[in-house]
Structures are given as C-alpha cells and as structure tokens.
C-alpha cells in the first residue's frame, strides 16, 4: 500500500505534524510504503484560472505542484493533515487542493478514465478550540478534494483543544488512535465512507 501523507501546517513539530507522524508510523508498521510531503517546503501557486486543464487535464503552472500530481495519482491512501485556520484548512493546503482542479477537469469535464477503485482518503486535523462547528469547513473542503482526486473519504481524526506547539503529545490516546488507524490502512483494510453530510 502506498500511503501519501500531505502535511499542510507551516509550524514544524506542531500538532498536525505529530498527528500525521503517528498515523504514518502506524501505516509503516502495517506494511505500507509511506511518503510525507510538507507543503510548507513547496512552492505551490494558487489556481490562476487559466482553464487549460479543461482542455487537456493538465495544469500549465510550472511549480512544485507538478511533482505532487503523480504522487496523488499513484497513492492508495492520501492522508491530509492540517490545523484549522479560521474554520478551514490552511492556505497551503487550500492552494494545493485548488490545483487539483486539473484532476477534477479530467474526471468531470473530459470524462477520462481515472485511478480510483479502492483508493482512500483520511483527514487528520487539529484545532485550538472545542466549538461544535470547528471542523465543518475543513471536512467539507476535504470531502470535495477527495472526490476530485477520486478517492473515498474513509476516515478522520479530528482533535480539538490542542493549541500550543506539541500540545497533542499530552494526548497519547489520540496519537495511539491515529497510529492504529494508520496500521489498518497500511495493512490494506478497506473502510466505509465517512458521512460528511449534514456538515454539522
């Protein structure tokens, strides 16, 4: 199993990175081949609405997204890790997601064959507060991101009330849960679909 971890926080050693690392550690223990991509280290332009992708399914912007596209196509599992920023994903994660419009175009405009069967997605998110709606925006965007790249939204670990850097280390039960989830994905387990709607 190829497990691609995409980490969207600008803060090195922060809560979402620790959470993703636990997941990836489990995935490796389960026999998965893991890869971690730090969006903070990549130069990814926002979508510029050129619409070339509607013609041929390719994005003409030559930046680091070009190396991420093939990884997104070949992964069996995509784990997106992000803190909540203003009730959504980070700008780094959102820029990457918007650029997958090229894949959306392949699927829905050009109606091309697209890798998808049995591919799964996981959202790993951390937030400082404990509000009922704190993950609503991130879940909804992630649902449509996973749809664009044709993977099933199969699991999520959403951690409230972790704010300062590394606070999540004081929640070993959460990290154990992420690691165990990773292990199951690494072993190739197929999960059902997470019910994102209704979004509250």
Ligand X SMILES: Cc1cc2nc3c(=O)[nH]c(=O)nc-3n(C[C@H](O)[C@H](O)[C@H](O)COP(=O)(O)O)c2cc1C
Binding site for ligand X (CB under 6 A): 9, 11, 14-17, 83-87, 126-129, 134, 162-163, 165
Comparing CB distances to ligand X, the nearer of 109 and 134 is: 134
Q: How far is the CB of 100 from ligand X (least distance, A)?
A: 22
Ranked by CB distance to ligand X, the top (closest) residue is 14
Q: How far is the CB of 63 from ligand X (least distance, A)?
A: 23
Q: How far is the CB of 190 from ligand X (least distance, A)?
A: 28
Comparing CB distances to ligand X, the nearer of 16 and 120 is: 16
Q: How far is the CB of 16 from ligand X (least distance, A)?
A: 3
Query: What's the chain's length in residues?
Result: 200
Comparing CB distances to ligand X, the nearer of 9 and 150 is: 9
Question: How crowded is residue 58: how many other Cβ atoms within 10 Å of its Cβ?
Answer: 13
Asked whether the beta carbons of 149 and 98 are under 8 A apart, the reply is no
Which of 126, 132, 117, 119 has its CA nearest to residue 178?
126
Which of 119, 117, 77, 72 has its CA nearest to residue 97?
72
Comparing CB distances to ligand X, the nearer of 29 and 163 is: 163
Taking the CA atoms of residue 16, residue 17, residue 20 and residue 21 in that order, the dihedral angle to the nearest 10 degrees is: -150
């Amino acid at each position: 199993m190829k497990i691609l971890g995409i980490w969207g926080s600008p803060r090195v050693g922060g809560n979402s990175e620790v959470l993703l690392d636990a997941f990836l550690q489990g995935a490796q223990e389960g026999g998965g081949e893991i890869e971690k991509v730090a969006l903070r280290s990549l130069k990814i332009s926002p979508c510029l609405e050129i619409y070339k992708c509607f013609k041929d399914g390719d994005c003409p912007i030559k930046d680091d997204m070009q190396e991420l596209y093939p990884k997104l196509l070949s992964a069996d599992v995509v784990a997106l890790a992000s803190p909540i920023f203003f009730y959504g994903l980070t700008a780094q994660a959102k820029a990457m997601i918007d650029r997958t419009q090229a894949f959306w175009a392949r699927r829905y405009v050009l109606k091309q064959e697209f890798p998808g069967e049995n591919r799964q997605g996981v959202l790993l998110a951390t937030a400082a507060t404990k509000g009922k709606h704190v993950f609503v925006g991130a879940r909804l965007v992630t649902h449509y991101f996973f749809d664009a790249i044709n993977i099933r939204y199969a699991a999520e670990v959403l951690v409230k009330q972790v704010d300062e850097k590394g606070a999540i280390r004081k929640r070993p039960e959460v990290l154990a849960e992420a690691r165990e989830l990773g292990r199951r994905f690494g072993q190739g387990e197929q999960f059902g679909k997470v019910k994102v709607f209704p979004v509250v």
